Amino acid sequence: MPWVDQERRRKYQAKWTSEHRQHLRDYHREYNNSHPENKAKNRTRGRIYHRQNAPWINEKKRVRDDGFRFQALSHYSPQLCCAWCFYSNIQALCIDHIANNGAEHRKAMKGDKIYRWLNRNGYPSGFQVLCLNCNWIKEIESRRSSTMGARHKIDIQ
Ligand SMILES: [Zn+2]
């Protein structure tokens, strides 16, 4: 029986799609893998789509990334303030690696953003929220006391 109410039809399809997201993903992956001849065509189509919809796509990404950022900050600091000085402007807060292993961790994340990585990995321990000032002060102090050699030291009086 055909759908009479188009609005109802649209809602039903949206609901079905969101409930079967993983199934659709697996299906399309399998289909695309078994049809390699479509690869170049799909890539071109994707590029054109992205170019035509860049403002919308970028805005969507920004909103999503802001969400990951807020979730991470409020997980590690429910009061949303710096762990050292209690500064609370959220725009100047960031995640700090308590053990000063940020550089290695960034390499291990392979280009993933920290906020997204934390979300994917269930917010593990070893992180805290600092303001950018305190984060930088901590960095300077660790470089000063570092025994890694002159390359990593910065000259401050
Ligand atoms: Zn601070």
Report CA(137)–ligand 1 centroid distance (Å). Answer: 9
Report CA(59)–ligand 1 centroid distance (Å). Answer: 30
C-alpha–C-alpha distance, residues 149 and 138, integer Å: 18
pLDDT, tens digit, 9 for 90 and up, residues 76-104: 999 999 999 999 999 999 999 999 999 99
pLDDT, tens digit, 9 for 90 and up, residues 109-147: 888 889 999 999 999 999 999 999 999 999 999 988 876
Neighbours of ion ligand 1 (CB under 5 A): 82, 84-85, 87, 131, 134
Report CA(86)–ligand 1 centroid distance (Å). Answer: 6
C-alpha–C-alpha distance, residues 92 and 39, integer Å: 43
Report CA(38)–ligand 1 centroid distance (Å). Answer: 52
- pTM here? 0.67
End-to-end CA distance of the chain: 81
Phi, psi of 145 (to 5 degrees): -90, 0
Report CA(94)–ligand 1 centroid distance (Å). Answer: 10
Report CA(153)–ligand 1 centroid distance (Å). Answer: 22
